[in-house]
Amino acid sequence: MGFECVTRTHVGLRRKVNEDSLLECTERGLWAVADGMGGHEAGEVASAMVVEALAGLPITSNLEADTANAVSAMIRVNQELIVLARSDIHPRTIGSTVVGLIIRDGQYRCFWAGDSRAYRVRSGVIRQLTRDHSLVQELVEAGMIAPDEAHNHPNANVITRAVGAAETLIVDTVGGDARPGDQFLLASDGLTRLVDDGEMRDEMAEFEPSEAAGKLLDAVLVRGAPDNVSLIIIKVV
């Protein structure tokens, strides 16, 4: 089983610093997107720490062990970020969302904390693999707002979980089979807030990963790109 992979990241049109970080280890079957928060370059530091910890993981042939190692690494970085934040003259939250993907022998595992997302496109059908850790997602699930109200909700940027946000970090995981022809998309909310699932599906179903990634990034820029935007497309071949 092999992979085609393409990455894109852009500071956007309103931010001065790109606080997103990407991990692309295609030869190891490991990818991740981290979206930092904290301002004044703190978010950039946090997302870089997340990616560096994942890049340093030992990779085995055991998918469950690799997933457990990734989760443990995120918990370790969580504690490091809390210590870093407390050492500042003005204590604050320094954190990062993360969404990661591991593929081994026809199986995948996603792990995540926050609202960066993973999708799979198979036979022209897109499926969101992750569930946002966000206030608006909780409101949707409680029936307090409709799903189509989530994007424009005034609290759309409020996340309820991130690496570095609280003493205890729970990293969610999900898995399934990975087949030739499947495409996986990892993305920060800079993409998913401006491009809906149907548009992502259409671009990925019609075009090869490199062209699809470019078209998705262009769509965000045309729509004003108020945030950093990052994405990784992985095609199983």
Domain boundaries, the chain: 17-223
Q: Which amino acid is at 7?
A: T
Predicted local confidence at residue 146, as pLDDT: 84
- Per residue in 196-231, pLDDT tens? 999 999 999 999 999 999 999 999 999 999 999 999
Measured CA to CA in angstroms, residue 9 lies from 29, 152, 218 at distances of 20, 23, 11
- Per residue in 64-74, pLDDT tens? 999 999 999 99
Tell me what the mean pLDDT of segment 77-87 comes to. Answer: 93
Take residue 111 and report the two structure tokens written for it.
Answer: 């792990």
Q: How many C-beta atoms surround the C-beta of residue 24 within 10 A? A: 18
Predicted local confidence at residue 140, as pLDDT: 84
Domain 17-223 fold is: Phosphatase 2c; domain 1 (3.60.40)
Which residue from 64, 40, 35, 65 is spatially nearest to 50, judged by alpha carbons?
A: 35
Predicted local confidence at residue 39, as pLDDT: 67
- Range in 4-18, 40-54, 68-82, 97-111 the model is least confident about: 40-54
* C-alpha–C-alpha distance, residues 132 and 150, integer Å: 11
pTM of the model: 0.95
Q: Which amino acid is at 5?
A: C
> Considering the chain, what percentage of its residues have pLDDT values greater than 70?
98
